[in-house]
Structure 1
Amino acid sequence: MELWEKIKNNEIVGKIVAFFNKYTNVKPVVEVLQSAKSIQKAISIILRIFSIIFGIALFIVWIVSWRYINQFKFFGGVGYLIWQLAFLYAGIMVTKILYQRFAGIVDLPESEYVITPIIALMTVTFGEVFFIFLAIMSAPAMLAIWLAGSSLSFGSGTVGLVLPFLAFVNPGNIFLAGIGALIMFWVIGFLVLILSRLLTETVLALVSIANDASILRVQFAEKKK
């Protein structure tokens, strides 16, 4: 009888509801998901992990590519050695830039738009990284072509990046092929950098237009009142 009275007075029901409310409180989770800083920190951590994995992958490629040095004669081996050392330096630079830029995501100002500034930062960062990598590797590519010449092949490890410049090489124009590689590395890197900045500015311009439009809508609604 006493149990029935408690049920009737909702004492047990109230305790059950309080128990579930205590251990299924989603309010802190929702607040975290709505916080711009929390989202920025999460994305920053994920992208920094990606930059580390990317750096490790480049290092593995660099290690594996050493086996191809045996296919060259002396001067070709010297050219490949220069290329490999430059590749290691470029890989370290690229990984460091990626990590530092992605760490800076948490310093972005809080605003209504959280993801768009991050995408803009990623776009321009990848463009800059691509340009820096090709700029560093341009001179080693030229030297690799000059010293290794037609002995380069698709089995030449990381130096295979310069193979497109050897499509029509013969002993008479290896010098020009090296110059062409140097120029093309800079041109391609610069074009990618310009394209990445164009995409970044376009995205930010669209966000700015959308923000201005929302402000105008609010002002127009207030005037109608």
Structure 2
Amino acid sequence: MNTLFEKIKQAIKDDFYDVAERQKQANPISLLNQYLRESEAEVKKAAKLIERQKLLRDEFYKEWQHVDKMAEKRKEQGEIALKAGAEDLSEIALREQAEYEERAERLKLAYNNSVNQLEELEYKYREMKLKLKDMHMKRLELMGQENVVLMKNKMNRVLKETEFGIPAENMESVGKLFEREEKKANDEYEISIFDARIQQLAKEMNKQDTGELRDNS
């Protein structure tokens, strides 16, 4: 029994939260708040991507400079070996120089690409932040509109209702009801006064009749 009761209670609670969530989602400001939270999360992700891209750019540049220096070093070593008559060492130096130069060219291209990609990311990031600011401004505008709508609705209710909470259009029928009740009370009062006066007259006439009987006797 307890288990069944708990299930019923939980089902009612779930239904309540489901209705509350649907009402919340139907609210434009709630929807905008949700979109703002999601957009803020995306902006944070973009900021992290930019930091990673900067690290990648710096790593490409560092490796490119290192390989470029190694190519220059092998070039100088090859020239020294050639002058010294060590052709085998000169050939090794020239071969490695060519390899380093090729790697340096690839790294230079990768570095330039990373710079361009970083510029594009930073441009998109600035756009995202501006869009986010616009959304915050839109949220404030919607909140202001919501306040105006709520206030107007409250004012309309006040204008349409009396202090008793009766709609103004029903006031006429309520007034007529009061008039009928007042007339009924007045009629009942007049009837009571009429009955009292008749009773008084009857008593006075009875006294007169009794007095006359005594005088005759």
Q: Same fold (TM over 0.5)?
A: no
Structure 2 length normalisation: TM-score? 0.37
More helix by share: 2
Larger RCO, structures 1/2 (Cα 8 Å, 6+ apart):
1
Larger Rg: 2
Structure 1 length normalisation: TM-score? 0.36
